[in-house]
Chains A and B, each alone.
Chain A
Amino acid sequence: TQLLEQSPQFLSIQEGENLTVYCNSSSVFSSLQWYRQEPGEGPVLLVTVVTGGEVKKLKRLTFQFGDARKDSSLHITAAQPGDTGLYLCAGEADYNQGGKLIFGQGTELSVKP
């Protein structure tokens, strides 16, 4: 059974601070996605990483896929109150096996002004 473990589960920081969220597994994934979810809505895709060691940047957000494609991280620089939300990582098993997409538990981020 493939599992994705996210840490920390909860994070409360002040505006302007930096933070990192981790997503770890003992399984190899063909790709890994990061989503953000607002209250009362479904998750929305932020980024997809595919290649081991890949780094992608989205404004103040930096995403990295581990070399072995078993882990990923999300780093936010100078967090703002608008970054508040639930961040979810999602891993896809071997695409040729059907495209199963499983999610981590999520990291609830609160950025205080």
Chain B
Amino acid sequence: DAGVIQSPRHEVTEMGQEVTLRCKPISGHNSLFWYRQTMMRGLELLIYFNNNVPIDDSGMPEDRFSAKMPNASFSTLKIQPSEPRDSAVYFCASRKRQTNTGELFFGEGSRLTVL
């Protein structure tokens, strides 16, 4: 079975440009999480969805960040405009939310570098 699929794997862009990261969760999973990982701050939760509905976006740094989940098989994280401090590895993860023991399955991450 395919795991969580993220694209692009690597992106290098210049400050001020728009960045869109994409995620396809595992089929049948009904919860999707976006995390950002840096050496300084570790793995930070940005936003998560249950049944395509955003539940908590308190981790989104500022208005430059937005996330959507138009259907159960696709989500995007957009940064506009991007800044050098946004450079990080962005992970998407999904799980089947049935009990409080659901395993999170992570994608391989999207490494973003903003120059």
Contacts and interface: CB of A to CB of B under 8 A. Distances in A.
Interface of B: 4, 31, 33, 35, 41-45, 48, 50, 55-56, 91, 93, 97, 99-109
A100 B48 contact: yes
Contact of A102 (B41, B45, B100, B109): B45
Given A42-B108, A98-B50, A106 B97 contact: no
Contacts of A41: 106, 108-109
Contacts, number: 66
8 contacts: A42-B93, A43-B106, A98-B50, A99-B102, A100-B56, A101-B48, A102-B45, A103-B35
Nearest to B100: A95
A50 B48 contact: no
Interface string A23-44: 0000000110101000011111
Interface residues of A, number: 25
A41 B55 CA distance: 26
B41 to A, nearest CB: 8
Given A42-B107, A45-B104, A106-B42, A101 B50 contact: no
B55 A100 contact: yes
A5 B55 CA distance: 24
Given A100-B45, A106-B42, A42 B100 contact: no
Contacts of A106: 42-43
Contacts of B106: 41-44
A31 B104 contact: no
A98 B4 CA distance: 21
Contacts of A30: 100
B108 A92 contact: no
